[in-house]
Amino acid sequence: MSADIFLVDDDELVREGLQQVLELSGWSVRTFADMSTVMSSLQRGEEPLVLISDVRLEKGDGLQLQRAVRAHDAGIPVVLITGHGDIDMAVQAMRDGAHDFLEKPFSAGKLVATTRRAMGQRKLVLENLALRQQIEQGNEWGLIGHSPEIRRVRRLISDIGQSRVDVLILGETGTGKEVAARALHAASGTQDPFVAINCSALPESVFESEMFGHESGAFTGASRRRVGKIEHARKGTVFLDEIESMPLSLQAKLLRTIQERSVERLGSNDSVAVGCRFIAATKVDLLQAARNGSFREDLYYRLEVVTLALPPLRHRTEDIPLLFGHFVTQAARRHGAEVPPWTSDDMLAWQQRDWPGNVRELRNMAERWCLGLERLPVQASRSRSGLTETLGRVERTLIENALRDHAGNVQAAADQLRIPRKTLYDKLYRLGIDAAGYRSDV
């Protein structure tokens, strides 16, 4: 049986004391008295999220253990417990990649805080691993990103995937509304189809029969009976893209269909049960559209019960490296080309652009990069926004990166940014950033 924490100490009393503190914080703990039993557990495939070890063990020391664990799986954070004389060893261990150390004597609170931090790092590693696997398996319907916003969206999708509630997806152009709709469809586990209808693409008359179907002879030119898309979706998903451009008369009909869960083909009096889930997407403020009279208020309220908002890319610039890496790799594979390297300055410049076309624009840029057409990093000064806005964006990017590096620990992020913690809190408040969203244990 594996546990959250592997705790290694050759002193039984110490072991029990620490174990109790950790278990009171809700973690499962497995204790070990020496290095060899830990290693054989790891080799049997049992893996903790975090390993905590005293540096002084009867046989061997924490430093050797740290190296062995690292050789086994560099992603397991190791926290070393050190005494007075061990500082040199601790420093060496940190250089070797130990996650952190606890200097004796330490309080229970310190132990828990340090463990939680290590836990956060481990969860991030695992999450990125899962994400990479998803990408490698060609699961192109997954939403890529590790910002709190995208993680929240993914969590919502998996929470409501199975339930058959209708969903309204909001977001600027290119933010991934269709990707999210397909992910929801995939999460529902149905084998029935995903049927996309672009509400702005068809003239009203065609649209109506496309959606609802018709009997033969229902209108001039209707020579054969036609099953509408809603019926065709069966227990799958009907994706109503750009719902704001649906003609008002059809909005009324759609509302009736959603409420009564049945449709009638044009020219027929028989109603057919509707088993699909409706997902609508829009770029506009539908409430505003309702006030202007171009969208039915009752339909709006029926749709907005469960909404999924996709944030613009400029509000989650920390996702840019991951997304860019993904798109560049994809493009390189497609073109059979080597990926031209980029520098961290390039990346920082990209993180400061405004990306009005959001992820789609980034994907196109990655494509050009791959073909060698986008070599010059775009300087912040060339962006269309003014100085204040640009500086604001730089500030946001740096703060978000620091919070991510320290799993939401404000003090540690403030230290990295070399500003007082109070100042960072003020900035977080002003920028509307929630540090807690960066903790990986929430």
Q: Contact positions toward Mg ion, by CB under 5 A?
A: 178
Find where tokens 């000064």 sit. 381
Residue 107, token pair as written in the block: 């309080």
Q: Is 163 in the site for ligand ATP (CB under 6 A)?
A: no
Pick the binder of ligand ATP from 48, 176, 213, 236 (CB under 6 A): 176
Separation of alpha carbons 394 and 387, rounded Å: 10
Separation of alpha carbons 442 and 437, rounded Å: 7
Give residue 315's Cα distance to chain centre.
Answer: 13
Q: Is 302 in the site for ligand ATP (CB under 6 A)?
A: no
Burial track 360-387 (b if 16+ CB lie within 10 A, e otherwise):
ebbbebbbebbeeebeebeebeeeeeee
Pick the binder of ligand ATP from 3, 35, 168, 359 (CB under 6 A): 359
Nearer to ligand ATP, 331 or 403 (CB): 331
Pick the binder of ligand ATP from 125, 179, 186, 433 (CB under 6 A): 179
Q: Is 183 in the site for ligand ATP (CB under 6 A)?
A: no
Q: Is 311 in the site for ligand ATP (CB under 6 A)?
A: no
Nearer to ligand ATP, 60 or 325 (CB): 325
Q: Is 148 in the site for ligand ATP (CB under 6 A)?
A: no
Residue 377, token pair as written in the block: 């990093």
Judged by CB under 6 A, which stretch of 45-53, 108-116, 171-179, 368-376 contacts ligand ATP? 171-179
Q: Is 123 in the site for ligand ATP (CB under 6 A)?
A: no
Pick the binder of ligand ATP from 48, 62, 145, 311 (CB under 6 A): 145
Separation of alpha carbons 153 and 226, rounded Å: 37
Q: Are 37 and 62 in contact (CB under 8 A)?
A: no
Separation of alpha carbons 412 and 424, rounded Å: 11
Residue of this chain nearest to Mg ion (CB atom): 178
The pattern of x and - marking residues 59 through 98 that bind ligand ATP according to CB under 6 A reads: ----------------------------------------
Judged by CB under 6 A, which stretch of 2-10, 75-83, 98-106, 170-178 contacts ligand ATP? 170-178
Q: Is 152 in the site for ligand ATP (CB under 6 A)?
A: no
Pick the binder of ligand ATP from 234, 360, 421, 427 (CB under 6 A): 360
What Å distances lie between residue 267 and 141, 211, 213, 222, 225, CA to CA?
Answer: 38, 14, 9, 10, 10
Residue 225, C-beta contacts closer than 8 angstroms, at least 6 positions apart: 213, 214, 215, 216, 265
Residues that bind ligand ATP (CB under 6 A): 143-145, 171, 173-179, 283, 359-360, 363
